[in-house]
Amino acid sequence: MRVTIVGGGIIGCAVGHELASRGADVRIFDMRGTGRGATQASAGILAPYIEGHIDALLQLGINSLALYDRFLARVSADAQQPVEYERSGSLHIANNDAAAMELAIAARKFAHAGVAHELMPGHDAMRLEPGLSSRMISALLLPMHGYVRAAELTSALAAAAVRCGAHMMTANVEEICGRGPGVVAVKTTAGLIESDAVILAAGCWSGRVAPMTPPVRPVRGQLLHLHFNQRPVSRVVWGSECYLVPWRNGALLVGATVEEAGFDETATAAGVTRLLEASAALLTDIPQARFEAVRVGLRPGTPDELPLIGPSSTMRGVYYATGHYRNGVLLAPLTARLVADLVIDGKRDPELDLVRPDRFGL
């Protein structure tokens, strides 16, 4: 089966690897080269219970996190590249009474649902993470959470897809068109490509590929990349104004702004200032960090914050895998499995009901 994928971000590469490893003849088109969209700015946090304010998203996040160990092992083996991935846990910080109350309510819900967690006073959290500010009132530890280096994972996914026979193409896909029974084509700046299925995984640019009209909009995120000589914390830290992700080499990601700025991918002084101030309130050593970079990405946002995964109801052979908003890294393994089950085996997994594109008439 010939499959064309529009977009080589983490979603396009994860879907491409899964399809190629199941024997499909895969072409992945990206107008910039793989992993240069929202994915390069991602913090790579794997934390369904943080982002789980929507029931369906929580369910999808939990299911996808459960796939992560095997997903990472397969990708690293197929790519023959290591990928930094840790289930280090996440520590949610309350610096005022209202936030402490929210953590206590969350802890009660987790206890009721049987989710492993530990609510602790600020001085106990300081023992776990001595670098954190002593202003902490309480903290909530969720040990199953973690992070992955998203750019490293995407590069490994692309390499793994190629080793399974996929082709990576640098070109802009302008249009998707029907070409008779069972054949769909994409019009690209490198020519017309016919295939049996086309997957639209173009992130926030998905609505720019004619004639598709998914309600996906860009939501800008700025993220700081700082560096310490030693890891300043050992887990993902989540505060009310920013989060921190420590890599093994001493790098610390500080994220992230959430801005409606259209397709503008520039970093701003206001964004950097906000993140520096917020992170200094969490971690006392922030002013001593080396400043490496600001990364900016456009998250593919949807009106209900849920992705669009599944077949187009208006064009046969076309499938959506887009709109992953703040959770594309977390949801990559599940998305890849759902799309491959559908395209290769015609199997509709029950999770697809939560993300049906036809809820927007697509």
**Interior angle at CA 297, CA 133 and CA 282, nearest 5:** 5
Identify the residue among 212, 326, 336, 338 touching ligand FAD (CB under 6 A).
Answer: 326
Residue numbers 138-167 binding ligand FAD by CB under 6 A: none
Site string for ligand FAD, 103-142 (x = CB under 6 A): ----------------------------------------
For ligand FAD, which is the closer residue by CB, 31 or 339? 31
CB of 146 closer than 8 Å to CB of 46: yes
Strand ranges, E, within 99-209? 118-121, 138-142, 146-148, 167-170, 173-178, 184-188, 191-195, 197-200
For residue 333, say if its preceding peptide bond is cis, omega within 30 degrees of 0. no
Does 271 help bind ligand FAD (rule: CB under 6 A)? no
CA atoms of 331 and 52, how far apart (whole Å): 12
Q: Which amino acid is at 103?
A: L
* Residue 189, both tokens: 């700046």
Identify the residue among 3, 12, 337, 362 touching ligand FAD (CB under 6 A).
Answer: 12
Mark the segment that binds ligand FAD (CB under 6 A) among 76-84, 89-97, 201-209, 309-317.
201-209
**Three-class SS state of 294:** strand
For 249, list phi and psi in degrees, rounded to 5.
-85, 10
Q: How far is the CB of 190 from ligand FAD (least distance, A)?
A: 10
* Residue 233, both tokens: 């914390």
CA atoms of 289 and 287, how far apart (whole Å): 6
Does 71 help bind ligand FAD (rule: CB under 6 A)? no
Does 299 help bind ligand FAD (rule: CB under 6 A)? yes
- Helix or strand (DSSP H, E) at 123: helix 122-128
Does 203 help bind ligand FAD (rule: CB under 6 A)? yes
Q: How far is the CB of 265 from ligand FAD (least distance, A)?
A: 10
For ligand FAD, which is the closer residue by CB, 47 or 140? 47
For ligand FAD, which is the closer residue by CB, 100 or 169? 169
Residue numbers 237-256 binding ligand FAD by CB under 6 A: 255-256
For ligand FAD, which is the closer residue by CB, 120 or 309? 309
By 3-state DSSP, what share of the chain in percent is helix, strand and coil, each rounded to 5? 35, 30, 35
For ligand FAD, which is the closer residue by CB, 319 or 325? 325
For ligand FAD, which is the closer residue by CB, 7 or 214? 7
Identify the residue among 91, 198, 327, 357 touching ligand FAD (CB under 6 A).
Answer: 327
CA atoms of 68 and 145, how far apart (whole Å): 11
* Residue 278, both tokens: 């917020």
Provide DSSP, 78-143.
HHT----EE---EEEEE-SHHHHHHHHHHHHHHHHHT---EEEEHHHHHHH-TTB-TT--EEEEET
What is the dihedral sign for C-alpha 324, 327, 328, 333?
A: negative
Mark the segment that binds ligand FAD (CB under 6 A) among 28-36, 62-70, 86-94, 345-353.
28-36
Q: How far is the CB of 61 from ligand FAD (least distance, A)?
A: 8
Does 16 help bind ligand FAD (rule: CB under 6 A)? no
Does 312 help bind ligand FAD (rule: CB under 6 A)? no
Site string for ligand FAD, 31-60 (x = CB under 6 A): xx---xxxx-xxxxx---------------
Identify the residue among 217, 322, 338, 343 touching ligand FAD (CB under 6 A).
Answer: 322
- Angle, helices 150-163 vs 10-21, to 10°: value is 30
Kindly list the residues in this chain that would bind ligand FAD in the complex (CB under 6 A).
6-12, 29-32, 36-39, 41-45, 172-173, 201-203, 205, 209, 221, 223, 255-256, 297, 299-300, 322, 324-330
